Amino acid sequence: MSTMFVVRYETRAEAAGENQRLVQQVFAQLNQDRPDGLRYATFRLADGVSFVHVGVVEGEANPLSELTAFAEFQEGIGDRLVAPPDRSEATLVGSYRVLTT
């Protein structure tokens, strides 16, 4: 069984670059460790301060929670954000070569 999620948040302008750097470290570790059971993408929106994370977790455990880089990304996230992140589970309606189930 797959669980899909979407997380959207806005960073403070001066923290957006640091947030992107931390996200890129998560993807660097994902590319190195190549954990099974996860498909994941992050987008920085045109306003430069908003980020959207979209993921599919297959199984009970989210492989992100095992990553050192993800723990580092989460440390101090409240200091980088304007408001708490909006996280919700999602249902795939359609996809073309992105996060298919």
Name which of 25-34, 37-46, 87-96 the model is least confident about. 87-96
Predicted confidence (pLDDT) at residue 4 exceeds the cutoff of 70 = yes
Residue with tokens 């492989």: 63
Q: What is the mean pLDDT of residues 4-27?
A: 98
Give the residue among 21, 6, 15, 23 at the shortest CA–CA distance from 82.
Answer: 15
Residue 27 lies in a domain: yes
Residue 95 lies in a domain: no
pLDDT score, position 95:
85
Residue 100 lies in a domain: no
Structural domain span for residue 30: 2-90
pLDDT score, position 96:
84
pLDDT score, position 100:
58
pLDDT score, position 1:
77
Residue 96 lies in a domain: no
Bridge partners, residue 90, by sequence: 4
Task: Look up the CATH number of the domain holding residue 32.
Answer: 3.30.70.100
Residue 99 lies in a domain: no
Give the residue among 90, 25, 97, 95 at the shortest CA–CA distance from 52.
Answer: 90
Predicted confidence (pLDDT) at residue 63 exceeds the cutoff of 70 = yes
99 confidence band (pLDDT: 50, 70, 90): low
State the DSSP string of 14-36: GGHHHHHHHHHHHHHHHHHH--S
